[in-house]
Amino acid sequence: MKRGGRSLVSSPPAFSNDAKKLRVSTISNATGLQTEDAETEDDLETSGTDEDDDLTVCGPSTVATSSFTKRVEYKLSKVEADDLSKKKWKYTWEVPAADISNCKWVGTGECFLKDDDLSSNYGLKQKLYKHWLDVYKTSGGNDFHSSKQRWFFSLCNSYRDILHGEKKPFYHKGLEEDSNIMDAYLMHSLNHIFRTRDLVRKNNAKIDKHQMNGKEEILPGDNFLDQGFTRPKILILLPLRSIALRVIERLIQLTPANSKVNVEHIDRFYKDFGSEEVSSDEEEEQSKNAKTKKPSKPSDHQSLFKGDTRDDFMIGIKFTRKTIKLYGDFYSSDIIVASPLELMTKFGKAEKNKDTDYLSSIERENEHVLLYDQVVIIDHADVISLQNWSFLTSVVERLNHIPSKQHGTNVMRIRPWYLDGFARFYRQTIILGYYLNPDMNALFNHHCVNYQGKVKSVREHRGVLPKVLSQVRQIYERFDASSIADVDDARLEYFEKKVFPKIKDSDQGGIMLFASSYFEFVRLRNFLKSQNASFCLLGDYTNQKDISRARVWFFEGKRKIMLYTERIHFYRRYKIRGIRNLIIYSLPERKEFYYEIVNMLEGSDDLACTVLFSQYDKLQLERIVGTATAKRMIKSEKGVFVFC
C-alpha cells in the first residue's frame, strides 16, 4: 500500500528507534492487523445519521474546523516541541469566573472564552447535544446556554490543559457545582470517543470502497492516519470507589439511549462498587436516628465517606454502537476509571513478573510505561493528595511513551505525532480539586505540556479567621528559608530553637502539635524522642488501640504533648479533649481544619495558638488569613503577627 505517492510500508520521518522497530516487526502482517474498532460488526458499522458529523476523509480545507478536527490535524514541529519541553508558560489573559466569587480564569495564548453561537451544538455531536439538553430540561433547567455545565464543557472542548483548584465538592454543600463540572467532563469524554470512532469508521469504509473498486493501493495524504498505539482514549483518576460509582453511573445516564441499549455487567459493577440506593425502611430508620442522636462527625465527613471508601479499583469501559461494556479488556476499552493506588499496584506486579500490565504499558529497561494518548482527568485531586500523591505523579510520568510491542493496532494507521514521540504534547490533562497545593501546581507546571495551552483558576481568598469561635490569641511566626528545597529543614530548625525550648521549660501540659504531612510527623516524632519528651501519637498508621490509649493519656495529663496529623483528622475527625496550647507546625491544606482544631482549645484563661509559616506556605496561608493579609505577612519586615 502507498500513501501520497510513497509506500505505506516505508518509515515516516522523525520517529524514534523504538517506533521503527515496532513498525518493522509488524510490516509482514500489516494487512491482517485489526484496526481500533475491528472487534465486532457493531464496531465496524459506519454511523451516517449524525446531522453534525463533520468527519470525512477529505482534506482540511473541506471540513468544518471543530476543536476535535483542529487537534487531530495539527502537525507539531520539532521546534515547537522543543519550546514546549522548556515549560515556560505566560498567562496572557484573564476573565472573571461568574459562578465563583473573587475568582478568575487565566490562560496562555489567545483568549477563547467568548459567547458561543446559540444555534450551534457547542462542539458536541448532534445526538449527544440533544440528549444532554433533554437531561438538563428534565432536571428543571431552563437556560442551557448560560448553564455552568455548558460553560465548563466549552472549557474542556478547547482541549487545553485545565487546573481548577476552586471546585466546591459535593460533600461540602457543593453538589450542584460538582455535578455540573462532572457532567461537563463526561460529555467531553463521550464526544471525544464518538468523534474518534466516527473518524475511524468512515476511513474504514473509504478504504473498503477503494479496495473493492480494484484501484491501485494508494491513499491520499495523511487522512487515514487516525489511531494511537492502543484504543483507550480517556483515563479518569479518582480517589474512592464511592466516587467512581457516582461518576460511572452519571456517564451511563449521559450516554444517549440508542448507544446504551444494553449495559453489560451492570450487576457485577454494583456488587463491586456498591449502590447509593436506600430502601424506604432504611431511610426512615436513618431519619429517626438523625433526630434522636447528634452525628459524631461533621456533615462533609459523613457525605464523603458514605458508601464504599476503598481506594483500590480499576475498570475498563467500552462503547460499541448499541452497548456499553463494563469490565472490558483494558487494551480494547475506550475509558479507564481507576485509582492511582490500583494502577501502581498493577505496575508493581507487572514489573515483578516482567510482563506487560493490564493497561497499555510496555517493558523498557525493566520499567513498565503506561500509554495513554488522549485525555486524562484527575478529579478530587485534594482527596488523592491525602492518600499518596507520589502514586499519582508516578502514573502521569508513565503516560505517552512509544511501546516496544504491538497491541493489535494497525501501525499503518498510527498518527505521525505518536511515532514522533510527541503524544505528550497532544494530551489534555484536567486537574480538579477543592484547593491547590504545591504538588498540584508542580504536576500542572512540569507534566502538562499541551501544545494548545493552559487554563487555570485563580482566587482571592477572604480567610476563615472569623470562624474561630473561642477567644484565642493566634500568634503567627514567620521563619526564613532560602529555597523551597530548604524549607523543611528550616522549619524544623526554627521549631527546635525558638518553639520547643518554651515547651520544655514549661510545666503546662495539654500541648497539641499539629503537622500537615506524614513526613513532618516522622521528623517531629524523632526529635521528641531524642529530647525524651513526654508525648503520645495520633498518626496516619497508629492502630485503634493505641489511638484510644493516647487520647486518654493526653486528656488525663499523663502525656504532655500530642502529635497529630492532618491526614488522620481528615479520615477520623476526632474531637480531642484536653488541649490547652496548640502549636501548628505546618498549616493544614484544608482551611476548615484550621478553625476546627483551634476551636478544640479548652479552658477560659490565656488560650494560645502558635502557627509557623514561611513564604513557601502562601497557598495555605491565604486560604486561612485571606489573600491580601497573606501577602502582607510574607513581605512584612516584622516576623510575628497576632490575631485575636
Kindly report the number of other CB atoms within 10 A of residue 83's CB atom: 13
125-213+223-275+301-351+366-459: CATH number:
3.40.50.300
Residues 6+ apart with CB under 8 A from 66: 54, 123, 195
∠ Cα 624 565 633 (to 5°): 30
- Is residue 123 within 8 Å of 68, Cβ to Cβ? yes
The grid coordinates listed for 255 are: 450516554
- Is residue 396 within 8 Å of 376, Cβ to Cβ? yes
Provide the CA 133 distance to its chain's centre, in angstroms. Answer: 26
d(CA 154, CA 148): 10
The grid coordinates listed for 336 are: 479507564
Residues 6+ apart with CB under 8 A from 34: 408, 409, 410
d(CA 319, CA 463): 46
Q: Is the pLDDT of residue 395 over 70?
A: yes
Question: Among residues of the chain, what percentage have pLDDT more than 70?
Answer: 76
* pLDDT in the model for residue 57: 32
Backbone angles phi, psi at 563, to 5 degrees: -95, 120
* pLDDT in the model for residue 56: 35
- The domain locations on the chain are 125-213+223-275+301-351+366-459, 465-643
* The amino acid at 287: S
> Which CATH superfamily, name and number, covers 465-643?
P-loop containing nucleotide triphosphate hydrolases (3.40.50.300)
Sign of CA dihedral 149, 155, 160, 163: negative
Q: Do domains 125-213+223-275+301-351+366-459 and 465-643 have the same CATH topology?
A: yes
Q: Kindly write down the DSSP assignment for every residue of 520-531, as one continuous string.
A: HHHHHHHHHHHT
d(CA 343, CA 508): 48
Q: Is the pLDDT of residue 352 over 90?
A: no
Q: Is the pLDDT of residue 11 over 50?
A: no
Provide the CA 317 distance to its chain's centre, in angstroms. Answer: 18
**Model confidence pLDDT, tens digit, residues 491-546:** 999 999 999 999 887 888 889 999 999 999 999 999 999 999 999 999 888 888 99
d(CA 94, CA 233): 30
* pLDDT in the model for residue 410: 65
Q: Is the pLDDT of residue 34 over 90?
A: no
Grid coordinates 496562555 are at which residue?
108
**Model confidence pLDDT, tens digit, residues 71-100:** 877 888 889 888 988 888 899 999 998 778
The grid coordinates listed for 455 are: 487554563
pTM (two decimals)? 0.86
